[in-house]
Structures are given as C-alpha cells and as structure tokens.
Amino acid sequence: MPPWARDVAPALSLLRADAAALRAWFRYRAAIRDGIGEAEAEAYGRLVAKVARHDGELARIVAVTIPDHLARVPAGRRSVYFSLLEEIGATRPEALSLLARTLPDLVDALDDEALRSFVRQGVLLHEESHQKAESFLKRESGAALAAVNALNGGVALAEVSRTLTLYARAHCGEDVQVRPGKGRAFSDGHHVYLPEVIEQFGDERDFAMYRVLTAIGAGYLEFGTFDLALDQLPAPLGGWPDVRDDESELERWFRSFSNRSLARELFQLLEDARIEAHLGAEYPGIARDLAVVGAAMRGSRPEPTGAAARAVEALARRLWALEELALDPSVSEAIAPLWTLSRSLGTLAVTDVARAVQENYPTIEALMLRAQPSAPPRSQGSERIRLPGEGATPPEATFQPPAMGTRIAPEAAGEPERRAEAEARALREAAAARGEEITLAEARERRREGERRRESLADATAFAQMEAMLERHAPPGGALVDAGTAVGGASATQATGIPQDPDVTATGRNYVYREWDCTIDDYKPQWVVVREARLREGDRTFVDEVMERERHHIERLRRTFQALRPEGRTRVRGQPDGDELDIDRVVRGVVEGRVTGERSERVYSRTLPERRDVAVAFLLDMSSSTNEATAAGGKRRVIDVEKEALIVVAEALDAIGDPFAIYGFSGYGREHVAFYVAKDFRDAWDDRSRQRVGRISFKMENRDGAAIRHATRKLAAEPARSRLLFLLSDGKPLDCGCDHYYDRYAQEDTRAALREARKAGVHPFCVTVDPTGPAYLKRMYGDVGYCVIDRVDTLPAQIIHVYRRLAL
C-alpha cells in the first residue's frame, strides 16, 4: 500500500468532521513522518481521525497540539504515549489536549504501569476541574507529588535535589551541584550524582539515605579527596605516569598501578571509611542516620572465592562492622596494616590513605598473582609485573561495591570541569615556579577568582560598546498619533476557524491596524487584525531553574537597578513639616496672623529625592524561527535565551518598582496576528506572572509591524513620563500566512511601525539575538536604537544599560 493510501481513511473522516482539523493534520502529518517516524505519523492520523468522529473542533486542537509535544517523548515511549492518548480519547476526550502536553514529561518519570495509573488518577480529577487535573498532571500539586511517590515508592530526587544541592554546598563550601546519576551515586568532584529515586524503606529513611549519600559526596570535597597531589606521595619505581592534559591527579594516580581496579577498590574503601569517620566526628546527625541506613547502603555481601577479592571484601566488612569473613592467614596478614590504619582514619588526610594503598597494594596483588599462575606475566620495559588487560578487571579482583555507596569518579567530570582542573594545575605550577607553595584547592579558588574578573571585564566592554552606540541615537520626542482602532470582540475568533491555542486563556479584544506598503508607498488602512490573548500559567520548572541558575546575576542586577536611583533632589515649599524654615513663608505667616488671627502652619520646606517615571514593555518575537539554536549559545534556543533574559530583567525591574509589561507575538496571516500577554502593566510580578512567562513558546510567523503598533498603543496609554519598548527578535520579520510579508515589504513595514512608535512618544529599542543577523538590520532599525548581540548572557546587562540611558 503506498503511503498516501494509508492517509485516505483518516483524511476522509476528518473532512467529514472539520475542514480546519484536516488542514492541520495535513500540515503536520508529513512533518511527523519525516522527522519522527512512519509509525508515529500513522498513530497520529488514527488518533486525530478517531477524535474527529465525536468532535471536530477537539480534533483540530489535538491535531495542532500533538506535533509540538511528540518530539519530547523518547523514542521508546511513543507507543505508550499514543496508546494512553487513545485510551483517554475514548473515555474522556476533553482531557486530551492537556494530556498531549503533559505526558511527555511524565513518561520520563514513571514506568508504564505507574504512568497508566497516574494518568487515570489525573483524568478522574479532570471530571472535577480542569485546573486541578492540570496541576496534577504537571506534578505541581501536593496530591500529585504524593501520588508519584506512592506509585514510585520512596523519595524522588527531582523533589529534593535543590535542597540537597544547597545542603552539599553548606557542607563543603563549594559550588557543587546535585544531578541525577542514572540509578547510581558518585561524585566527580564538581557534581554529586544521586539515584533518581530511593525506595528502600518507603518512609523518611529514604530521605535519610539521600542525605547520607549527599554528605559523603560533598565529603569528598569537604575532606579533600580530590585534592590528592602526587608530589606529596612517594613516586613509584619508574616515576609517575606522564601528565595528560584532560586528566585529574586522582586518575593519574590510579594509572600508576598495574591493576587499576584493585587499587581503585582499595582506595575507595579506605577513603570512604575516612570520609565516614570525618563526617561522624563533625556531624553527629550523619552518624545517627548512617547507623539507620548503613546496612541497606551496604547491601547483602557476597562470598568471593579468589584470595585478593576475599581480602578486599574482608576489609570492607571490617570497616563497615559487618559479620567477618573467614580468612586464610596469608590474606589476613595482607590486610592487617590497612586495618590498623583504618582505626585512626578520623585524623588522616587523603595523602595518608593514598600512601597506605601504595604501600600495601603489592602484597594484595601478590595474593592474586599466586592464585593465577596461568596468567603469563608480561614485561613492559620496567621490572614491574603487569597483569593482562590493563584497565579491565581481572576476575580475581572483582569486588562488589556497596549497594548504594557513593563512588569517587573523577573520570565522570565533563569537558569544562576538566579544562578548569587543568588550568588550576597550571596555576599551581606557575606559583611553584615563583617559589610559592599553594594547594590544589587554593589554585582552584584563584582560577575561579580570575574567571569572575574576566566576566565582569567582558560585561564592562559590552557596556562601553553599547554606550558608544547609544550616543548616536538620542531619544526622540514627538506627539501622539492615531495608533489604531479597536474592533470586534472575542466572537470574531470563533468565526475565523483559527484553532483555539492551548497556551492561552480566553482571547481578549481584536484590534485593527494599518500597514505600510512600500510597493505603493502608502498605508493600507484597516489591514491587519491583532488578537490579544492572555497566556495561561505554565510550568514552574523553567522559571525556577532560571532563577536558581541566575541567582547571582539577578542579585547583581537588582543592586545595579537599585543604584539607578536618580540622585537629583527637588525642594518643595509650604510643608507642615520639613528640614528648614522657609523664611518668606514664616514672615508672611506672622503678618497674616497679626492681620487675620489665623496663620498658616505650612512654613517648612523639604527636599525630596526625584523619582523616576518610566514604563517599559518587552515585546518578544515568538515565531517558529526562534526555535532555532543561537549561533553562539550552543544548543540553547533563541526563545529560551530571550525568556531567560526577560525573567532576569523582570526580577530586577520589580525590585525598583518601575511598571513593566511582557508581551509576545506571533500569528499567521494578516487577520491573525496573535499578541500574547504574559504580564500587563497592572499585573504584579508574582508567581503567576512568572509562570506565564514560562509558558512563552515558539508559535508560527512574526508580523513585527502590527505587533509593534499594538505594543505602542498599550504603552502610550501608560501615564509615565518616558516609555520604553524593547523588541526582542531574531531580526527577520516574516509572515508566510500572506504572500508578500517578507523581505523588503516586511522590513519597511517594521521600520514604519517603529517610526510611528517614536512619534507616539515611545522609545523603541530593538535587540536581535543573532550575531549572523542579516545585513539589512541597519536599514530596518536604522533610525531607532538597536543592537545585535552574540553572547546571549549579556542580554540582561545590555537591557539594563539601555534602560539606564533611556529611562533617566
């Protein structure tokens, strides 16, 4: 059967139900087939057709919603995604579009069975209220978290990761971050990786386990595991292995052993025991928790047969105070020195442990060699005997690590961490060359210090460039012109057949604007319909993440903004109370008093600081091209960068109390320019507003001119002395919904709209997040201020700078 034949049946049923649904389906089907897969495209068609049989309009919504979210579902889970949607489509179709949006995040968090059960609970709630079901399915409500926990059992890392990150930072005083470790717990010296869920006990002990694991992971930093420096250890025969740039000292040290796994296990065991001893001494609470969860952490112990493996296991059991292993005298003897050492671990440093491992490693390795006479020793140019399979674990040395113990895993460090580490080592060597002895930890701190300085220098350079640019664009003045005429109401929306956007609440009024047509050198009156809609509140995670990650930045901006206070003062006279007597008024008052018997009390003058009087609107391009990655920012999408910058700046603006608004725009065709309100001037910058910003996502086209005209209209209605309009876009006005809004026509219209804004007393400023921005920008934005930024992180700083210049 040819591919198109499969499409006939759904197409026909859609055609009978709803023409718009058919159009949407037509548009996305091919995209899904090409981008995701045949099976998915078919499932999509089937689902849309099924829904269309009951409800044409709903089918349309589902047809539009699914493609956006399908891509977020991991390949292996797409069949579950569709089968759940089909199931709910049959029982409660009203919840379908909500599910289509929320499921992609859920399939990651729950296994199939738990997922089905969770979704069914959510759909039950939907019968009560859509809102409740939404926050449940997004796992925002307490009921949802409880349900997830009950289904998963235990504690989910997602719920506690921020608490644990802060906890780890408090312990070790460094900027470590807790991350999910795909079921395992380990630390690379920069991150503490933890299992996604702990469900050993099903009660508060699960959290205690997280806590202990975090404390140990942070303990590696707190008590210096990663500060091991080879020059403080006796060098092996033949010297240390050559330095590799991308390798930590610990890795290099492991490399100096013929059997790395054995050395590693010995070190891990003793080092963990050392950390636990230090933790117990420092934190009585951890010692208490460790006693409770320790047994579960160690797991059931094996009975290894090989002599070396037995030695390691025996040592482990002794260290953990578990039932002892019966040992050969030779094995017992081999571990005796380490056992003796382990009793004073609470006072030792990592170097002592490493030295002890180095000293005792040969005896334990010898146990293994004796048991393995068949393995022919290989000479490698030195007198040392190496075991075959360097790096791989010979069967003899296999040791079962504790079921839940944290591992020291410097090899897990990512590329930036490795680079940082190499730089720190270089700093340390440079210091040593100057005759200055610093530890690795101090070198790391110096490196960070330098980085901070460089960052602020980069900010300063960006500032200077912006300053110079602004000098060329003096703020304009002018009179208000007719911005547009309001027409129609929400009813127009229904008539147009444009699918209801799941991201907005009820659509507001429609507005009609003119448009500049450069081909006729005139305005086309009443040409474009702008439909204003309020965004729904979205997911918190985006906003929370930004606020957490950009914490320092926000704080710094907030202070910068607070410092933007105007220093000017005005003197007001005739006050009942004040700094100084106003002699003129005193004299007048006395005279009046003599004449009339009544005298004015208002004889003081006082100085008042000047207040800034400014309103600012941010207008965000939400067209599909903002879904592209930024050229400089790696994987990050333009739209996310814009959102992030907005959140940061909004936090700062809120701190000084200047009124601001956040709008987005997209649309398709001249009758459907969508204007999204995330925060209006009258809205408070609260969690709801933040969540609405979180909801901003890329949509369709961008007809910049109309959106600028509408934003201008809204700004002009604000009673402020200066009004700023920031246009954040990719610099490519384009509306494929009509056949001429591109290239020159679109640019000229944008330019005209900006000119109108200036005349209306609004200072527009355009920020283009794309260093490869097109060459016509200068022409398009030419007579208003604009900038093209390549480093997205500087966006907030740039905005502030413009703000300082224009708002004061």
Residues of this chain that bind another protein (CB under 8 A): 160, 162-164, 166-167, 169-173, 175, 211, 215, 282-286, 551-552, 555-556, 559-560, 562-563, 565, 567, 569, 579-581, 586, 590, 603, 607, 609
Query: Residue 127: helix, strand or coil by DSSP?
Result: helix
- What is the rounded distance in angstroms from the CA atom of residue 274 to the CA atom of residue 531? 66
What span, in angstroms and rounded, lies between the C-alpha atoms of 59 and 570?
63
* Closer residue to another protein (CB): 227 or 735: 227
In whole angstroms, what is the distance from residue 118 CA to residue 137 CA? 8
User: Is residue 606 left, alpha or beta, with left meaning phi > 0 and alpha meaning psi from -120 to 50?
Assistant: beta
Q: Which is nearer to another protein, 90 or 457 (CB)?
A: 457
Strands 660-667 and 614-621: parallel
Nearer to another protein, 12 or 608 (CB): 608
Strand pairing partners for 530?
Answer: 511, 673
CB of 125 to another protein, least distance (A): 24
| Closer Cβ to another protein, 370 or 551, answer by number | 551
Q: Which is nearer to another protein, 131 or 562 (CB)?
A: 562
Q: Cβ 546 to another protein, closest distance in Å? A: 15
Residue 688 CA to its chain's centroid (Å): 18
Amino acid at position 188, single letter: D
In which residue are the tokens 């474009």 written? 528
Shortest distance in whole angstroms from residue 285 CB to another protein: 4
**Residue number, 439 or 607, with CB nearest to another protein:** 607
Q: How far is the CB of 446 from another protein (least distance, A)?
A: 17
Q: Considering the complex, what minimum distance in angstroms separates the CB of residue 170 from another protein?
A: 5
Least gap, CB of 274 to another protein (angstroms): 18
Helix axes 56-70, 19-35, angle to 10 degrees: 20
Q: Which is nearer to another protein, 245 or 580 (CB)?
A: 580
In the bound state with another protein, the residue whose beta carbon lies nearer, of 604 and 741, is 604
Give CA–CA dist 336/345, Å, rounded.
Answer: 15
Shortest separation between residue 570's beta carbon and another protein, angstroms: 13
Pairing of strands 197-198, 385-386: unpaired
CB of 161 to another protein, least distance (A): 9
Smaller CB separation from another protein, 275 or 638 = 275
> Among residues 472, 447, 722, which one has the least CA distance to residue 611?
722
Segment holding 512, helix H or strand E: strand 504-517
Q: What is the DSSP letter of 393?
A: P
Q: Cα 654–658–662 angle (5° rounding)? A: 70
Q: How far is the CB of 560 from another protein (least distance, A)?
A: 6
Report, in Å, the least distance between residue 459 CB and another protein.
Answer: 12
Q: Which is nearer to another protein, 148 or 498 (CB)?
A: 148
3-state DSSP of 3-36:
HHHHHHHHHHHHHHHCHHHHHHHHHHHHHHHHHC
How far apart are CB 562 and another protein at their closest, in Å? 8
- Contact yes or no for 483/679 (Cβ under 8 A): no
HEC secondary structure over 326-376:
CCCHHHHHHHHHHHHHHCCHHHCCHHHHHHHHHHHHHHHHHHHHHHCCCCC
Q: Which residues pair with 528 in a beta bridge?
A: 513
Question: Which is closer to another protein, CB of 30 or CB of 563?
Answer: 563
Nearer to another protein, 305 or 456 (CB): 456
Q: Give the shortest CB-201-to-another protein separation in angstroms.
A: 17
Name the residue nearer to another protein (CB basis): 101 or 171. Answer: 171
Least distance between another protein and beta carbon 675 (Å): 34
In whole angstroms, what is the distance from residue 702 CA to residue 668 CA?
8
Residues in the chain: 808
Cβ atoms of 528 and 670 within 8 Å: the answer is: yes
Please answer whether residues 690 and 536 qualify as being in contact, where contact means their C-beta atoms are separated by less than 8 angstroms: no
Strand partners, 663: 619, 677
- Looking at the Cβ atoms of 92 and 804, the one nearer to another protein is 804
Alpha carbon separation from 312 to 260, 466, 652 (Å, rounded): 14, 63, 56
Q: How far is the CB of 615 from another protein (least distance, A)?
A: 23
How many CB atoms lie under 10 A from the CB of residue 231?
9
Sheet of 604-609: strands edge to edge? 569-575, 604-609, 580-581
Q: How far apart are CA 426 and CA 422, in angstroms?
A: 6
